[in-house]
Amino acid sequence: MKKGLVFSLFLIAALLVPPISYGQTVFSVSGKIKDRLSGQFLLGARIILDQNIDTACITDSSGFYSIQLKPGYYTIKIVMSGYIEKVIQVNVDQTVQQDIKLDPLPILKDVVVFSKTNNINTPISGRELISMNAVDKTPLFFGEKDILKTIVLLPGVTNAGDGNTNFFVRGGAADQNLILYDGAPVYNPSHVFGFFSVFNNDVIKDATLYKGNEPAMFGGRLSSVLDIKTKDGDLNEQKITAGIGNITSRVSIEGPLRTDQSSYFIALRKTHVNYLLSLSDEFKKNKIDIYDLNFKYKNIIDSGSRLYISGYLGKDKIAIGENVGVSWGNKLLALRWEKYLSKKIVSNSTAFMGNYFYNNLFKTTTADLILNSSIANYGLKQDFLYHKNNNNTLGFGLNSIYYVTNPQILFQDNKSGFKNNEKGGLENVLYFNWDSKLSSAFFVDLGVRLSGFTVANTETENLLGNNQLTQNTSKNKSLTYFNVEPRITGSYLLNKQTSIKLAYARNVQHLHLLNNANISDQWIINSNKIMPEISDQFSLGWERWLKNKLYQVNFDIYYKFLQNQLDFKEGIGLNSIVDYESVLASGIGRAYGLEVKLSKNYGLFSGWISYSLSKSEKKIEGINDNNWYNAIQDRTHNLSVVALYNLTERLVLSSVFVYNTGNAITYPVGRYNVGGQSVFEYGTRNANRMPGYNRLDLSVTYENKLKKRMSGAWNFSLFNVYGQENPFRITFEEDPKDNTKTKIVQTALFKWVPSISYTLTF
Amino acid sequence: MKFKIVFFISIIFSFGCLKVLNINITNPNAKIVIDAVITDGAGPFYVNISRATSINETMAYSPKDSARIYIGDNLGQRDTLIKVKEGVYQTRTLRGITGRTYFIEVHIDNNIYTASNKMPSKINFDKIDIDSLSINGLGVYTIIPRFTDPPTKGNFYRFVQKINDSLDNSYYLLNDNLNNGLENNTPLISINSAIRVKRNDSVRVEMQCINKEEYAYFSTLSQQTNFGINANTAPSNPKTNFNGNVLGFFSCHSSEYKSIRILK
């Protein structure tokens, strides 16, 4: 069955392949590139032929490379950040299959590769390869290494503020980012309302952020895709890593199940703040319990096929006193089978499922109220990558995801009080991608996604009653939204060091997050009233490398036009939303900006400066007299400076400075009296600004070798060195001393946050 | 909810800090405010006309504008209000009767502002019960207004509480989403932690049966006091039922009072 499907897909793809003919016999040289010590496959290693400067090929996420060569002797150089360059000789007289192991650079050497670089001639625009080294070495917050705190230092990416893991990419909302964990979507990446993310850094192998111009195999969100890949267990030896920070302890164990054939990786992270809370009489009735459990299994079935099983289980449980509780959690499971159908064709079959829930509990003497919201998904993906020849790579595949949403159910004493009807949505996608080198200087990446989204129950019903919830299915017909999402990126090399890139992409989004301060986090899907969100992004980039890639300069400008953007209507109480559709209005949006990044990629001193100037607005009927207004995520300026200095072989200093324009918010403009009470009159939506956000962090990392196989690392960090009181929220209240005056109070979450973390590996 | 918790966590780590900001905000186009209330009974009823001020100006209740105001209902009542003092107008003959639709017409400076509202049926306010609740280990008293919601859906209630004759400025709103047809057992708990009923306090509670629009109006107002400004949902002005560019509401509801003294 599956074989038949694979075959017919292959046939379709073969028919779609543009007829590029070549007369002379060529052979393929292919294989996998991996880390000699850990056996990890390496993404982004460059294969360079003979004396050429141009890269012939870059390895994909499974470490795979494939090049086409005419018969003869070749010298092949493999270059990868953080590894010793390797040169091999190849005699091409037949198809060559060669796996290559790279030796990592000795850790305590003067060359520290800090930021990963894209290859100058890749035709992908707005892609950021995230250096896990940067995540490791930048200052920690509460002792946690956190990828989501590092990506906000990249150009075009901004943070939602202190105590928040939400990030905004190119003026898009937080729900417009697709976060993938080994291919499975994550619906809430935050712990403790956003103090740190669910991603335990010990587990992450690499991560890539696409800022809206992702290849056609990705889609479903308007602004970005953050593709996180986890580590495989070591195939040769057992390893244990343990760490302790201010608020969490963590341990990970990995090793072979059968040497060189199968391995496991298990990581557990748990908070240990409750004993701190118990020390205070005031807070001892409050509890914070958080855990993350990650696991991965890898099996090399034969030389051409591998099986991966990856899972995540995590939960937050927070109790405030005896009467209020909040909990939420994610569950993910992904199974991937990678198979080389031939030397040139890789097939990846993935099955995944995920579930996210959010629960609020309020206990009163008379009743227990539980407000619940959840989303689940089940997906199948089939991806093919065909390295036709050195100049042409084709990607194609299809995927289906079934979503089940329950935006809100309120239970009172275990009987349902009200609920929105459960909705199912089926997303089917067929995509095709052609990556081609048209000449030695001109590269193009063409892609298209054909997507269909079927909503099973189009009408949103709000069911009320006392344990007598019935759903009227007769009037609920299904409805399908079809979309064609073209993607194109062209890249032109002006010279060996300089390239320009031009890109266009359309993205469509069928899931929407209602983030309401009272209930929080309700994922909803399209209905007959809520249409898919659509974005069209145009971008232009210029990149220059200097001094043998020591320095790099990037300029990017973009313009994004958005349709069917949602926002809360004016003058609607959100306290107890039963009918969420009645409080939503939809309209258009636009976002545009300029991004600059200067980086020094390696050396004793390395780091980058990134700056974005941007605007993000919405225009929705019924809001702000139908005029354009600032989106919540609008930030005019956003500056990050990241610096790393290797003081000695073991001692690394790092610092981060950030500045961004304050959040767009709505201030009251006046006061008036209704019913004997003074109330505020509000002005234009999001027309005011919180004071600007700025902060400097410093850290020291000290690594020491304890025994032959044992090493430890201390990290001392100070968050917010000069104690800037950055606004978290601003409230307007009647001045208790003089009720004709208004007191404006700013709440800042953190002044200084020192932290210590220790990691032991053996 | 969310913000309270985050704030609480910040206290745990002792890093949260408050600062009073000095922001100059002006209100150049101060709008007219019409605050009119009709309840069931004989009256007289009052209409307050004022202007919004900027957030740091002394509240001015007496605008220069003189107004002509008429209120009538769908069964032929019509009353011209008389001015009792600057900005305050009073009905002479009008009676409030549940089930009727009332109309108001306000003439100010060559502009006419009109609104209408239907007074919902009255539901009996049976009694007040006192309950004690533990919040973070501290015992506090709460008031449970007892009434039985009718079997038909779509009933809305507002409660106004006075503790020792001073108005509790919290908004207590109830609907029958959860307890349709049942006796109410939801207590009045203020979002403002400074407002607590203590031993020996005298409490007076007014129960108002309001309609959906009025519920939405006060519900929007209640959010302003609950959350102030945060990054998630933009606060906005409640939707007035007056036509024209004015603030305020023409409120029509039943009214019934119960009092109690906490002796336990």
Q: Tell me which chain A residue has its CA closest to the CA of residue B3.
A: A517
Q: Tell me which chain B residue has its CA closest to the CA of residue A632.
A: B231
Inter-chain touch B26–A753, beta carbons under 8 Å: no
Share of chain A above pLDDT 90, in %: 35
Share of chain B above pLDDT 90, in %: 32
Same domain, B102 and B144: no
Torsion of CA A699, A201, A59, A30, to 10 degrees: 130
H-run or E-run covering B167: strand B166-167
Q: Is residue A201 part of a domain?
A: no
Same domain, B140 and B199: yes
Question: Using CA atoms, how far apart are residues A602 and A549, in angstroms rounded to an integer?
Answer: 9
Q: Is residue A605 part of a domain?
A: yes
Instruction: Tokens for A51, please give them.
Output: 């004396």
Share of chain A above pLDDT 70, in %: 87
Contacts of B241 in chain A (CB under 8 A): none
- CB burial string A472-510: b at 16+ within 10 A, e below: eeeebeeeebebebebbbbbbbeeebebebbbebbbbbb
Inter-chain touch A740–B59, beta carbons under 8 Å: yes
Instruction: Tokens for A303, please give them.
Output: 């030389």
Contacts of A680 in chain B (CB under 8 A): 55, 224, 235
Inter-chain touch B18–A283, beta carbons under 8 Å: no
> How many angstroms separate the CA of residue B78 from the nearest CA in chain A?
23
Q: Is residue B16 part of a domain?
A: no
Inter-chain touch A571–B37, beta carbons under 8 Å: no
The domain of B55 spans 32-118
- pLDDT score recorded for residue A434: 93
Inter-chain touch B50–A277, beta carbons under 8 Å: no
Q: Tell me which chain A residue has its CA closest to the CA of residue B59.
A: A740
Q: Is residue B102 part of a domain?
A: yes
Q: Tell me which chain B residue has its CA closest to the CA of residue A518.
A: B1
Same domain, B107 and B163: no
Question: Using CA atoms, how far apart are residues B255 and B253, in angstroms rounded to an integer?
Answer: 6
Q: Is residue A68 part of a domain?
A: yes
Q: Is residue B99 part of a domain?
A: yes
Q: Is residue B6 part of a domain?
A: no
Q: Is residue B242 part of a domain?
A: no
Of B23, B221, B231, the CB nearest to A160: B231
Q: For residues A461 and A237, which has the higher predicted lDDT (pLDDT)?
A: A237
Of A320, A466, A670, the CB nearest to B53: A670
- pLDDT score recorded for residue A286: 78
Q: Which residues contact B177 (CB under 8 A, 6 or more apart)?
A: A417, A418, A464, A576, A578
Contacts of A193 in chain B (CB under 8 A): 2, 5-6, 9
Which residue's structure tokens are 């290849």?
A215
Q: For residues A508 and A518, which has the higher predicted lDDT (pLDDT)?
A: A508
- pLDDT score recorded for residue A529: 86
Of B177, B224, B232, the CB nearest to A515: B232
Q: Is residue B9 part of a domain?
A: no
Mean pLDDT for A492-519 is 85
Q: Which of B118, B144, B165 is the last residue of a domain?
A: B118
> How many angstroms separate the CA of residue B212 from the nearest CA in chain A?
11
- Residue A451 corresponds to which amino acid? S
The conformation of residue B198, written as its DSSP 8-state character, comes to -
Inter-chain touch B19–A320, beta carbons under 8 Å: no
CATH number for the domain harbouring residue B79: 2.60.40.10
pLDDT of A511 strictly over 60: yes
**Chain segment A387-405, per-residue pLDDT in tens:** 888 788 899 999 999 999 9
> What number of other Cβ atoms are within 10 A of residue A210's Cβ?
21
Inter-chain touch A276–B234, beta carbons under 8 Å: no
**Chain segment A528-538, per-residue pLDDT in tens:** 889 999 999 99
Q: For residues A487 and B263, which has the higher predicted lDDT (pLDDT)?
A: A487
Same domain, B221 and B138: yes
> How many angstroms separate the CA of residue A20 from the nearest CA in chain B?
53
Q: Is residue A575 part of a domain?
A: yes
- Residue A625 corresponds to which amino acid? D
Same domain, B104 and B155: no
- Residue B89 corresponds to which amino acid? Y
Of A360, A686, A741, the CB nearest to B1: A360
Q: Is residue A195 part of a domain?
A: no
Q: Is residue B98 part of a domain?
A: yes
Contacts of A740 in chain B (CB under 8 A): 56-59
Residue B10 DSSP SS3? helix
Of A193, A729, A753, the CB nearest to B230: A729
CATH number for the domain harbouring residue B192: 2.60.40
Q: Is residue A186 part of a domain?
A: no
The total of structural domains in chain A comes to: 2
The conformation of residue A440, written as its DSSP 8-state character, comes to S
Inter-chain touch A745–B20, beta carbons under 8 Å: yes
Q: For the ranges A97-111, A148-162, B138-152, B178-192, which has the lowest average pLDDT?
A: A97-111
* Long-range contacts formed by A187-191: CB under 8 A, 24+ apart: A187/A330, A187/A354, A187/A356, A187/A375, A187/A523, A188/A328, A188/A330, A188/A356, A188/A358, A188/A521, A189/A148, A189/A165, A190/A164, A190/A165, A190/A166, A191/A165, A191/A290, A191/A292, A191/A314, A191/A316
- pLDDT score recorded for residue A122: 62
Q: What is the mean pLDDT of chain A?
A: 83
Q: For residues A636 and A519, which has the higher predicted lDDT (pLDDT)?
A: A636
The residues facing A330 across adjacent strands are A314, A356
Which residue's structure tokens are 């939602």?
A160
> How many angstroms separate the CA of residue B77 from the nearest CA in chain A?
24
Mean pLDDT for A212-237 is 91
Question: Using CA atoms, how far apart are residues A329 and A188, in angstroms rounded to an integer?
Answer: 8
Quote the Cα angle for B61-B64-B65, to 5°.
100
The total of structural domains in chain B comes to: 2
Same domain, B44 and B99: yes
Q: Strand A605-620 vs strand A584-600: parallel, antiparallel, or unpaired?
A: antiparallel
Inter-chain touch B56–A742, beta carbons under 8 Å: yes
- pLDDT score recorded for residue B227: 42
The residues facing A201 across adjacent strands are none
The residues facing A77 across adjacent strands are A48, A87
Of A195, A680, A750, the CB nearest to B224: A680
Question: Using CA atoms, how far apart are residues A392 and A68, in angstroms rounded to an integer?
Answer: 10
Same domain, B105 and B136: no
- pLDDT score recorded for residue A20: 35
Q: Which of B97, B118, B139 is the last residue of a domain?
A: B118
Q: Which of A78, A102, A126 is the last residue of a domain?
A: A102
Residue A112 DSSP SS3? coil
Inter-chain touch A745–B19, beta carbons under 8 Å: yes
Instruction: Tokens for A539, please give them.
Output: 């971008």
Inter-chain touch A517–B6, beta carbons under 8 Å: no
Q: Tell me which chain B residue has its CA closest to the CA of residue A725.
A: B17
Of A412, A465, A516, the CB nearest to B233: A516
Q: Is residue A69 part of a domain?
A: yes
Same domain, B64 and B108: yes
- pLDDT score recorded for residue B107: 92
Q: Which of A102, A126, A158 is the last residue of a domain?
A: A102
Q: Is residue B71 part of a domain?
A: yes
- pLDDT score recorded for residue B64: 55
What phi and psi values does residue A519 have, to the nearest 5 degrees? -110, -45
The conformation of residue A583, written as its DSSP 8-state character, comes to G
Question: Using CA atoms, how far apart are residues A631 and A661, in angstroms rounded to an integer?
Answer: 13
Contacts of B230 in chain A (CB under 8 A): 517, 729
Instruction: Tokens for A754, please give them.
Output: 């020192």
Among A468, A747, A750, the residue to mutate for chain B (most B Cβ within 10 A): A747
Instruction: Tokens for B230, please give them.
Output: 């945060």
Q: Strand A345-363 vs strand A27-35: parallel, antiparallel, or unpaired?
A: unpaired
Q: Which of B95, B118, B141 is the last residue of a domain?
A: B118
> How many angstroms separate the CA of residue A176 from the nearest CA in chain B?
15
Q: For residues B257 and A517, which has the higher predicted lDDT (pLDDT)?
A: B257
The domain of A377 spans 227-761
**Chain segment A234-265, per-residue pLDDT in tens:** 888 899 999 888 788 899 999 999 988 999 99
Task: Determine contact, residues A430/A444, Cβ cutoff 8 Å.
Answer: no
pLDDT of A278 strictly over 50: yes
Same domain, B106 and B148: no
- pLDDT score recorded for residue B86: 83
Same domain, B145 and B110: no
pLDDT of B228 strictly over 50: no
Inter-chain touch B52–A681, beta carbons under 8 Å: yes
* Long-range contacts formed by A235-241: CB under 8 A, 24+ apart: A235/A39, A235/A259, A235/A260, A235/A261, A235/A262, A235/A263, A235/A298, A235/A300, A236/A39, A236/A260, A239/A761, A239/A762, A240/A761, A240/A762, A241/A202, A241/A759, A241/A760, A241/A761
H-run or E-run covering A657: strand A651-660
Report the range out of A16-25, A103-112, A445-454 with the highest average pLDDT: A445-454
End-to-end CA gap in chain B = 31
Inter-chain touch B55–A670, beta carbons under 8 Å: yes
Of A466, A575, A741, the CB nearest to B56: A741
Contacts of B35 in chain A (CB under 8 A): 673-675
Contacts of A364 in chain B (CB under 8 A): 133, 186-187
Question: Using CA atoms, how far apart are residues A230 and A224, in angstroms rounded to an integer?
Answer: 19
Inter-chain touch B8–A516, beta carbons under 8 Å: no
Task: Determine contact, residues A143/A753, Cβ cutoff 8 Å.
Answer: no
Q: Tell me which chain B residue has its CA closest to the CA of residue A683.
A: B236
What phi and psi values does residue B263 have, to the nearest 5 degrees? -110, -20
Same domain, B88 and B182: no
Same domain, B112 and B136: no
Q: Tell me which chain B residue has its CA closest to the CA of residue A192.
A: B6
> How many angstroms separate the CA of residue B174 from the nearest CA in chain A?
10
Q: Which of A54, A80, A102 is the last residue of a domain?
A: A102
Inter-chain touch A365–B133, beta carbons under 8 Å: yes
- CB burial string A729-747: b at 16+ within 10 A, e below: bbbbebeeeeeeebbbebb
The residues facing B175 across adjacent strands are B156
pLDDT of A446 strictly over 50: yes
The conformation of residue A626, written as its DSSP 8-state character, comes to G
Q: Is residue A495 part of a domain?
A: yes
- pLDDT score recorded for residue B66: 79
- pLDDT score recorded for residue A468: 46
Of B7, B53, B230, the CB nearest to A517: B230
Q: How many CB pairs under 8 A join A and B?
A: 263
